[in-house]
Structure 1
Amino acid sequence: MGINLHEGLIEEIRNRSDIVEAVSKYVNLKKAGSNYKGLCPFHHEKTPSFIVSEEKQLYHCFGCGEGGDIINFIMKMENLDFIDAVTTLGEKAGIRIEEASSKEEKKEFENRNRIYEMNREAALFFYSNLIKKENKGLEYLKERKVDLSTIKKFGLGYAENQWEALNNYLLKKGYTQEMILSAGLVLKRNQKDGCYDRFRNRIIFPIINTTGKVIGFGGRALGDEQPKYLNSPETSVFNKGRNLYGLNTAKKVLGKEKRMIVVEGYMDVISLSQRGISNVVASLGTALTKEQAALLKRYTDEVYIAYDGDSAGQAAALRGLEVLGEAGCDVKVVIFTQGKDPDEIITKKGKKVFLDELEGALSLIDYKITLVKKENDLTTIEGRIKFVKAIAEIIKQLKSPVEVDAYIKKISIEAQISEDAIKTEIYGNNRYNQPVKMHKPIVSGEKHRSKFERHTNKYNIESIQPTEKLGYLEAERGILKLMLMNKQYFNNVVSTFPELNFTDPVHKKIAKLVARAYEDMDVIDMDSLMNQLDINEITILHNIKKVIIPEDNTQKALIDFMNQIQKFDLMKRKKDIETELKEMEKKENKSQMEIARIRELCIQLEKILKELKHL
């Protein structure tokens, strides 16, 4: 009886649901222009910046950047997955979500439910073993300073050193041997009939999904058994590469905490949680997978990898950084200086020391640099050369010219090697890695032009690219940020850019509203400004506010922005002229008027190229 969801049904549920009504149950909303406004439920704030659009059925927080439709809102507020959120909204809207009716689907659904039931029974069995009397499991947890409340919170248990304790317990509960085998709780004997328990003489860590169901177990050996840590096998409800230990508890604090900490072991999660750091998950003994990264991304953008400091932990951290980066997370690595792992640091040094270590977390590039530095002796010339060569390969992977420049400066200081030498190492003799492109003449009939008029693109200026357009839009946003900062900056912008001729229509609208506001007052009332914008325009305003302007040199910033805009405008005109020239070149028999037009265009093109050269 699986759920039969399709896009049409989901859209109907969206259409029948009212986001203002839904959000009002959690947030005190007040009418603000065409929108509603209130205090954001996803982060602490004193001034309302949470906007709900009744017209577009969307929400957006100007403060923290959270946004989406009614389904996203219910998922985040109720900590539900997509299917559960849609089902909840469907029930409220009076829409019956039909159950899948095929025999195969029904059988699969029933099997999954039985495994959930058996896992729950097994978890209760292990928990009862742990707390009913003194035993090795309880002694171990006491030594690790785990208290009773934490044992209850995580449902920890103990598998006694017996061969068939759990198997016999579940058989008595009415489950067949085949069912128990399908849950991965027992193994078949090799030389005779029957089964024996998978987990024996181990501390048991139930693995619980985000809807509160026990999907599998992890077990830590209390003796010399190998492996030291053992997980449930793959079943119809459990795949360790798609789940994270502790996410069921960590997700509950993500309204207050924006970052998620990823650790290696169960005990790291438990020790940190017991001492007030609950935004922690463990990766179930595997390197982080794409599925786990996507799962984390659903709950947060900011992820800190806090693996053990040994070589295996370092390698896993590097892989995790790459996978999380590809998933779009802002990811950092914690390098521990006060202990070998999170459990040891929080237990022996305390919460403050652990949080201090967390604040010193490094980005992917900085972490790689740190590892390379450990491998090379920078007090020797040979060590510094090897260090720079290795870092050059890392810097080549960067896409941002700003990042490249910053890291070249950093490495130059650390290795005591000139920036020019490092650039040459990265790019070869052509340090900017941009080979000169010779352009063919646009017009084949050179006889129609004077030598001066002939375009050879001697300045090697490229045609307009999408990145230029992005830079142009960023420049417009920079100018708008200056206009918003204060009236003096606004007047300075207007004197330099009197027509406020923005290309982007939203930028143009915001500029006009700002200009109108300064006619009546000396400061911008952001609430009043937002009330005149729709939710998508508010998002753009939010991005404008995030633009960083060096306050000690706003005039230079303005000039840079203006140059960027002027460059884009010239590049666009250049491209238009080149397009027209190419079209005219195709004509075999040109009229005198067309020849004159070609000359005129070539003169304009030469003028534009000269202007571009001086920008």
Structure 2
Amino acid sequence: MALPSAFLDELRARTPLAALIGRKVRLARAGGRQWKGCCPFHQEKTPSFYVYEDHFHCFGCGAHGDAIAFLMRAEGASFPEAVERLAAEAGLEVPKPSAAAAEREREARDLHAVLAAAAAAFARRLRLPEGQPALDYLRRRGLSEETIARFGLGWSGAGRGALAADLRAEGIAPEQLVAAGLLKPREDEGGFADFFFHRVMFPIRDRRGRVIGFGGRLLGDGQPKYVNSPETALFRKRRALYGLDLAREAAFRGAAVVVVEGYMDVIALHQAGFAGAVAPLGTALTEEQLEELWRLTPEPVLCFDGDAAGARAAERAAMAALPLLAPERTLRIATLPAGEDPDTLLAKQGPQAFQAVLDAARPLAEALFTILAGRRLPEAPEQRAALRHRLVAAAGAIRDRALAAEYRRALLDRFFAAARRPAGAPRLRGAPAAPPPRLPRPPVDPPAVRRERARILLAITLRHPWLLAEVEEPLAALDLPQGAATRLRDAILACHAAASRAGAGALDSAGLMSQLASAGVADALAWALEGTGLPAAAMADAQPAEALDAWWHFFGYLRGEADLAEDRREAERALVETNDPAAQRRLIRLTEALAALRRGDGTSGRDGFAGDP
């Protein structure tokens, strides 16, 4: 019995295809979101086998498919065997066959067929005499015949019962059209009424290109101007994005994914060459839509109007996104000129004007400060304090602790920088700003800074020896200053190895320090713990995530950029070869440490770390 398509879609989404195929094929990155290697299905010396986010393709022999197809072809597994194996790795339970599940799947297939037939009927009606006003409207909006066909645009008809009459010959009953959201029962008169009437029709497709619903624009006077299909077994407005199927293909080719507000904005952008454009369906972005966007690209661009409504939309989107952010996925915010939307901007100034808007898109952290603070900091201390609380609360909404700390630091740094300029005292036109006073700075002693960083790293390890299960290998490879740091590090690793051999489990902090004192490194132990300036992460009551984040932070500075970059490449290779969760965690930590080092992030007391200049 066939498995539900929703389950199979979820299974494919949860399977990292590059990691799966990388167990059998040596893969190398070929662009931002794809890999390449020699095809496992035919002999070749020049790689022509490409792995994308959700499918593979060999340009030599034509092999093509998803994760299930790869296992079936590479290992000779049957379809049920491949599904069982992938489901076990993804933590999913394969649905048990049942008559009810089979009926639901059959109904879903039937609904897809009904909606496809309806889309074809609407497209045909657009070319009939009664559809001429709709076709004229689309042409006046600058759409080409190719664009109209690519998006499947149509006309609902102005006569009642038109759709049911069109589809009756194909064996589609009115009850099926009700289930598809195209008809609705009449409460008083009996029979059925068209849901879409006298409207230009916009088919809404899922990521696989299947029609799941429609949007309709009214021609002439009347409200509402736009309506969408009602919720059905296939159509969930919170999950759908208009233009998703076309944007998905464009994203694989490297196009920027841009979120705009309306159907016509999406269509005009695609026609102008911005093939990654999508739009929510008349509502603010939802968590489900953001997750769908991040499946396409790690950094989609949200494009808003440059008016008050656009500012409110940007704030809603930013607040919805904050809890979902992670080091590998974020947003950028682009703002259109006041009074313009993408469609009008393209019509007036051409694609180069919209490209300039995209080029000026700001990272979310930068845009978030403007969203919350406005164009000028408030003058009253109470208002500034309230703003500071809002900035801290916004950063605190991010679930990833390390990223939340980075956002908090970035937002507060901008707050303090803006506060140093007197509010209400704009610089006079043409008058140069007064230079800041040149205060003497103490000379930096690099060896002393390195010793202090090593001391902090070892203090964190001593207070939280459970970290050694993850950091034993990188700690052993670290080039620490000779003397107390190296003696203490070697003694810590020896104690950990002895506990592992004895099967004693993780050391606790008190037990580790007792063993170290007995091992003759009491002086090094005192050096690490009794000095001043240790961060909160080196205290016994620090949260585990805080301690782990701080450890990798100082590891990055001590390791150095070149070695850290090589560590990251090795971790990436290990993940592809093993698909091991521990390898994935290490890759994430090394990526964060390398990014922080390249940004030149220092530390300060308010971020919970100390000891960096």
CA distance in 2, matches of 1:304, 1:386: 34
**Structure 1 residues 77 and 314: alpha-carbon distance in aligned structure 2, compared to 1, 3 A threshold:** farther
**Structure 1 residues 251 and 482: alpha-carbon distance in aligned structure 2, compared to 1, 3 A threshold:** closer
Matched, 1:96 2:75: no
Show the counterpart of 1:213. Answer: 210
Show the counterpart of 2:335. Answer: 335
Count residues with an aligned counterpart: 445
Q: What does residue range 299-448 of structure 1 map to in structure 2 within 5 Å?
A: 299-328=296-325, 329-337=329-337, 339-364=339-364, 366-371=366-371, 388-397=384-393, 398=395, 399-400=405-406, 402-413=409-420, 416=423
| Aligned residue identity for 1:187 | K
Instruction: Tell me which of 279, 282, 289 is aligned to 1:282.
Output: 279
Shift of 1:476: 2.3
**Structure 1 residues 261 and 163: alpha-carbon distance in aligned structure 2, compared to 1, 3 A threshold:** same
Show the counterpart of 2:245. Answer: 248
**Structure 1 residues 18 and 313: alpha-carbon distance in aligned structure 2, compared to 1, 3 A threshold:** closer
Matched, 1:224 2:221: yes
| Aligned residue identity for 1:85 | D
Show the counterpart of 1:181. Answer: 178
Q: Secondary structure at the match of 1:223?
A: coil
Instruction: Report the TM-score when normalising by structure 2.
Output: 0.62
Q: What does residue range 252-263 of structure 1 map to in structure 2 within 5 Å?
A: 252-257=249-254, 259-263=256-260
Instruction: Report the TM-score when normalising by structure 1.
Output: 0.61
Q: Secondary structure at the match of 1:476?
A: helix
Show the counterpart of 2:121. Answer: 125
Show the counterpart of 2:54. Answer: 75
Deviations 1:527-583 (A, max 9, x none): 9x989x9784777766665454589xxxxx9xx89x99xx99xxxxxxxxxxxxxxx
Show the counterpart of 2:146. Answer: 149
Shift of 1:118: 1.0
CA distance in 2, matches of 1:40, 1:71: 8
Matched, 1:479 2:558: yes
In 2, are the aligned partners of 1:387 and 1:415 still within 8 Å (CA)?
no
In 2, are the aligned partners of 1:115 and 1:179 still within 8 Å (CA)?
yes
Shift of 1:121: 0.8
Instruction: Tell me which of 151, 154, 166 is aligned to 1:169.
Output: 166
| Aligned residue identity for 1:313 | G
CA distance in 1, matches of 2:33, 2:67: 24
Deviations 1:120-174 (A, max 9, x none): 1110111112234561111111111011111111111111211111121122321
| Aligned residue identity for 1:88 | A
Show the counterpart of 1:426. Answer: none
CA distance in 2, matches of 1:233, 1:614: 57
CA distance in 1, matches of 2:203, 2:612: 67
CA distance in 1, matches of 2:424, 2:359: 30
Cα RMSD of the aligned pairs, angstroms, is: 4.6
**Structure 1 residues 96 and 224: alpha-carbon distance in aligned structure 2, compared to 1, 3 A threshold:** same
Shift of 1:343: 1.4
**Structure 1 residues 242 and 168: alpha-carbon distance in aligned structure 2, compared to 1, 3 A threshold:** same
Matched, 1:114 2:110: yes
Show the counterpart of 2:469. Answer: none
Shift of 1:613: 10
CA distance in 2, matches of 1:119, 1:263: 25
Shift of 1:77: 4.6
In 2, are the aligned partners of 1:480 and 1:544 still within 8 Å (CA)?
no
Shift of 1:257: 2.7
**Structure 1 residues 614 and 375: alpha-carbon distance in aligned structure 2, compared to 1, 3 A threshold:** closer
| Aligned residue identity for 2:351 | K
**Structure 1 residues 408 and 109: alpha-carbon distance in aligned structure 2, compared to 1, 3 A threshold:** same
Shift of 1:256: 3.4
Show the counterpart of 1:40. Answer: 30
Show the counterpart of 2:270. Answer: 273
**Structure 1 residues 312 and 483: alpha-carbon distance in aligned structure 2, compared to 1, 3 A threshold:** closer
> Which runs of no fewer than 5 residues in structure 2 stay unpaired?
41-48, 58-64, 84-94, 396-404, 426-509, 511-525
CA distance in 1, matches of 2:72, 2:577: 30
CA distance in 2, matches of 1:334, 1:209: 26
**Structure 1 residues 201 and 14: alpha-carbon distance in aligned structure 2, compared to 1, 3 A threshold:** closer
CA distance in 2, matches of 1:483, 1:307: 40
| Aligned residue identity for 2:117 | E
| Aligned residue identity for 2:101 | E
CA distance in 1, matches of 2:324, 2:196: 35
Q: Secondary structure at the match of 1:254?
A: helix
